[in-house]
């Protein structure tokens, strides 16, 4: 036999005893129809269940959606007995409640449209959620944080360093320092080896906060210390030896 028509499948998914013996046999052996019923069933389940019990991957539609669906159905199908709008109460009448036999005929006209509308709606909302999740995944993640503590002579100074990594592996460090900048000096940000035997300059810190690229090959395990120095305009590119704050990204 050919596939069971969509309207009958929708009613079956809603729990109506609409299948004859041949259709029940067909449903047991036809993956296409079985898949359609499972999909419709999940929509029905989601629509009927209190929000807390809805399947995790189905998203409750925003308020007013049932009213809009009803309006559309009344416009297109002339349905006189569209379901009551879903209220905020968990014990409200479900929009797809089991019908009385007497109105089954009327409901047959618009239930498949309602299920189709709900399916489109749920897929649309779920798509939006997935899109937002994709957006989140595109955001950078924090891979290391260090509190920066004042060195002797800089009591009261403080700061923070946060290393971010974007999905393509690019790393940046955001360094913020709270300490006065004496006239005629500037700040420079460095990464140091734990024993101060080596250092890498990340750049000048202009203002209280700066964002610096970390070289791709740089292993933060080798250079875990974040150091902010006070530098003078003396033409010497080396570390002045006057550190303001320092912190350990591996701590």
Cβ 13 to Zn ion shortest distance, Å: 14
Cβ 4 to Zn ion shortest distance, Å: 6
Q: Residue 40 or residue 179: which is nearer to Zn ion going by CB?
A: 40
Give 146's strand partners: 161
Q: What is the DSSP letter of 37?
A: H
Distance CA 27, CA 49 (A): 25
Q: Which of residues 70-129 bind Zn ion (CB under 5 A)?
A: none
Q: Which of residues 3-62 bind Zn ion (CB under 5 A)?
A: 3, 30, 32-33
Distance CA 133, CA 224 (A): 32
Q: Residue 27 or residue 47: which is nearer to Zn ion going by CB?
A: 27
Applying CB under 5 A, the site for Zn ion has a residue count of 4
Q: Which of residues 122-161 bind Zn ion (CB under 5 A)?
A: none
Question: What's the alpha-carbon Rg for the chain, to the nearest Å?
Answer: 32
Cβ within 8 Å of residue 92, ≥6 positions away? 84, 86
Q: Residue 33 or residue 79: which is nearer to Zn ion going by CB?
A: 33
Give residue number: closest CB to Zn ion.
30
| Rama region for 219: left / alpha / beta (φ>0; ψ in -120 to 50; rest) | beta
Cβ 119 to Zn ion shortest distance, Å: 18
Q: What is the DSSP letter of 157?
A: -
- The token pair at 147 is 């509190």
Cβ 31 to Zn ion shortest distance, Å: 8
Q: Residue 31 or residue 235: which is nearer to Zn ion going by CB?
A: 31
Contact between 196 and 180 under an 8 Å Cβ cutoff? The reply is no
Helix (H, G, I), strand (E, B) or coil at 98: coil
Q: Residue 21 or residue 139: which is nearer to Zn ion going by CB?
A: 21
Q: Residue 33 or residue 228: which is nearer to Zn ion going by CB?
A: 33
Cβ 115 to Zn ion shortest distance, Å: 17
Q: Which residues bind Zn ion (CB under 5 A)?
A: 3, 30, 32-33
């Amino acid at each position: 036999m050919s596939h069971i028509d969509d309207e009958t499948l929708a009613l079956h998914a809603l729990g109506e005893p609409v299948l004859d013996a041949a259709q029940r046999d067909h449903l047991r052996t036809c993956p296409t129809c079985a898949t359609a019923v499972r999909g419709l069933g999940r929509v029905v389940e989601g629509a009927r269940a209190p929000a807390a019990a809805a399947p995790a991957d189905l998203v409750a539609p925003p308020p007013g959606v049932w009213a809009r669906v009803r309006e559309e159905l009344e416009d297109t199908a002339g349905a006189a007995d569209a379901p009551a709008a879903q209220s905020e109460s968990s014990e409200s009448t479900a929009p797809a409640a089991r019908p009385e036999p007497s109105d089954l005929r009327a409901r047959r006209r618009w239930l498949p449209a309602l299920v189709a509308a709900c399916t489109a709606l749920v897929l649309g909302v779920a798509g939006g959620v997935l899109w937002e999740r994709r957006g989140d995944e595109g955001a950078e993640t924090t891979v290391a944080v260090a509190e920066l503590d004042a060195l002797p002579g800089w009591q009261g100074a403080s700061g923070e360093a946060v290393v971010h990594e974007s999905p393509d592996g690019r790393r940046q460090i955001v360094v913020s320092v709270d300490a006065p900048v004496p006239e005629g000096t500037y700040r420079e940000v460095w990464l140091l080896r734990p024993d101060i035997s080596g250092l890498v300059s990340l750049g000048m810190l202009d203002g209280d906060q700066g964002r610096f690229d970390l070289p791709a090959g740089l292993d933060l395990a080798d250079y875990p210390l974040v150091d902010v120095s006070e530098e003078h305009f003396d033409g010497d590119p080396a570390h002045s030896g006057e550190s303001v704050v320092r912190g350990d990204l591996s701590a």
